[in-house]
Amino acid sequence: MFDKNDWRLQGQEKYLKGVTLYLKKYIKSRDAWDHDHCEFCWTKFSLEDSPDHLDEGYATQDNYHWICKRCFGDFKDVFQWEIT
């Protein structure tokens, strides 16, 4: 259920509303970077073999923004994401 007071919502609609997302294995968005966080719940995406880290999720085409599957499911209707 969508709740606009959900703690995970921090104004992401400014840059994530209606964007196209790609379900993919985690890849680094910048060379000097070894992880990213879910834009909503801050779960870590990384290439490390750790049970706490995600290695797959939804990302923008430039790989700058990552969204975990749970947050994707919770917010996809509100953010009107396009999936390819």
Q: Does 16 bind Zn ion (CB under 5 A)?
A: no
**Do the strands 82-83 and 66-67 form a parallel or antiparallel pair, or are they unpaired?**
unpaired
Q: DSSP class of residue 24?
A: E
- 41-80 footprint of Zn ion as x/- string (CB under 5 A): x-x------------------------x--x---------
Minimal distance in Å, beta carbon 34 to Zn ion? 19
Query: Which residues bind to Zn ion, rule: CB under 5 A?
Result: 38, 40-41, 43, 68, 71
